[in-house]
Structures are given as C-alpha cells and as structure tokens.
Amino acid sequence: AQQFDHIFYTGNGMVARIVMEAASKHLTPVTLELGGKSPVIVDKSANMAVTVRRIIDGKCMNVGQVCVSPDYVLCHKDVYPTLVEELKKEIKRCFGDDPSSSSSFGRIINTRHWDRIAGLVESSGGKVQCGGLETANKEKRFIPPTLMTDVPPNSRLMTEEIFGPVLPVFPIDNLEKGIAFVNEKERPLALYVFAEDKKAADYVINNTMSGGVCVNDVIMHITNPELPFGGTGSSGLGMCHGKSGFDTFSHKKAVLARATWLDPSNRYAPYKESDIPLIKKLLIGPLIPPAVSRLIKVAMVVFV
C-alpha cells in the first residue's frame, strides 16, 4: 500500500497519540494541532473596556468551540471586581437577557459535548455569576454564556479543556502568581495577556511557554499569515499557516553539483600528516579564515 508522506491531525490529545503511534510504524512525520487550556492574564494596566469586549468576543465565537478559545482568566486583584462586573454586562449587551433567542449565539455541536460541558459546570463547585445550566436546553444543545468564579483549581473544569461557552475567572495577587498558575499546567496552544504596560506583557511572554501569544486581543494571532501557528508539548507538534505551512508539507532536499576541473590529490588516500590541516578545513571549515574573508568582501565592494 502507498504510504503517506506527512500526516496533519487536528483534534484532541488522546486521538493524537493513536495517530502518532500509527505513523511511527512507517516513520511518517506528523503535525499535531491539539488545543488545550489557553489562559488569559489581565494586568492591572489593561484597558478594561477593550479587554472585556475582546475576551467575550473570543470566548463566545462559535460558542467557545475553537481550539484557541480563551479557557480561563487570571486577573490582577486590583481590577478583578471590575472585570467580573464588566464581563457580565458585556454578555448581556452582546446577547441580551435571553441568549437562546440571539441570532449571534450558536449551539453546541452535539449532545455528547453538551453533556460533557454541563458535567464540567455541575462538578466544578464554583459560583455562577451569570448564565449557568438553569436556562440550558439539552434538546436544543444550548448552553448560555456562563461566567464562573471561586472554581477549585483541581476541578474538572480547570483540568480539562472546556471547549464551550463557560469562562472561569480568578483573582491573582501579581503577575508572578499568574505565571506560576499557568506553568503548573500543560503548555497551552495560545496565551493571551492584556496590559498597557509593555514591560508587564513582556514579562508574561518571557516567563511562559505556549504555542502562540496574543497581546491585548484573543484568537487574532492565528489570522496573520506571516505568523506560524502550532502548539508545544501537549498542545501540539509542528507549525502551519502561511509559509510555515508550506515548509511543513515540503521536503527540503539538499543538492550539490561539483565541478571536476579542480581535484587536489591530497584529498585522497594515502594521507600525509601535512594533508590533515587542509582536510579539516574542507570538512569542518572555514576554508578561508574569517579575517581574510572579510578583506575579500571589502575589496569586492571597493572595486565593484
């Protein structure tokens, strides 16, 4: 049977392991785009109005069924109460008092996933700030935008990818605590940081590992064809999008064509002690010393 040159898989880690194991039998390279729990870190310097709009927009896009959807929020304690209240207001502004009647809010893909998301909420032990399961409808596969606080970090809601319209929000004392919280978990496919203070944003970026980062927005980094998209660790393997995708599906074959007019004999056996320095330069380099190479380049510029 004909073998695949490359396998690209998008989905969850469990199936990815099956794909990778099957590919290993033929040493077929794989690219895995797997998702995970993509965190949002909100610094106290964040523009609150923009932050709230963009978090809700990203979380409710396709009802949270996006691999890089914001999974949970870590907010500086100084602005945490404001963020929670503004998130609630933004949900109401976007989808009204009854999100089930909003043409801007979709449905869960199937009843199996509806059950899974409902189970995450029911077992979380957290406090529902808005939404929840009271107005959810399994038959119509509807779960409203749900904002939760006081969720135990070891609950299923915080250990499994949510992939639905449920958003836990946590207060943090400082960025260090937020970074530690993120780094205790598997590496996410995306990480979002909202901060007007560039040093704060850079501090988060430089002290966390994730597939990609978006500053002062969510999801939008994957729309830029100049940026590679992919995960790290449990969130994926390999890159795609733009030229990165072209490179992923391409084999870079090295080709060297040599001339025959020059063929020094000291390359070949039998070797002499005096041949070793030249052979080292040929195999290891540099054949031309760096200082001499620089002089040649300068001379070429001057005379050309």
Residues 6+ apart with CB under 8 A from 204: 41, 43, 175, 178, 179, 191, 193, 195
CA 203 to chain centroid: 18
Residues 6+ apart with CB under 8 A from 37: 71, 72, 158, 160, 161, 162, 185, 186, 188
Residue 94 falls in the annotated catalytic set: no
Bridge partner list, 74: 41, 170
> What stretches of the chain adopt beta strand conformation (E)?
7-10, 30-33, 38-42, 70-76, 127-130, 146-149, 166-172, 190-194, 212-215, 236-237
Angle between helices 198-206 and 175-183 (to 10 degrees): 30
Residue 75 falls in the annotated catalytic set: no
Which of the residues 21, 60, 67, 134 is marked catalytic?
A: 67
What is the gyration radius of the CA atoms in the chain, in angstroms? Answer: 27
Q: Are 53 and 31 in contact (CB under 8 A)?
A: no
How many other C-beta atoms can be found within 10 angstroms of the C-beta atom of residue 84?
A: 19
Cite the DSSP H helix spans in 224-289.
242-248, 276-283
How many other C-beta atoms can be found within 10 angstroms of the C-beta atom of residue 58?
A: 23
Name the residue among 108, 161, 96 with its Cα closest to residue 133: 108
Which of the residues 33, 86, 90, 161 is marked catalytic?
A: 33
Residues 6+ apart with CB under 8 A from 111: 138, 141
Cis? peptide before 286, omega within 30° of 0: yes
Q: Catalytic amino acids?
A: 33, 67
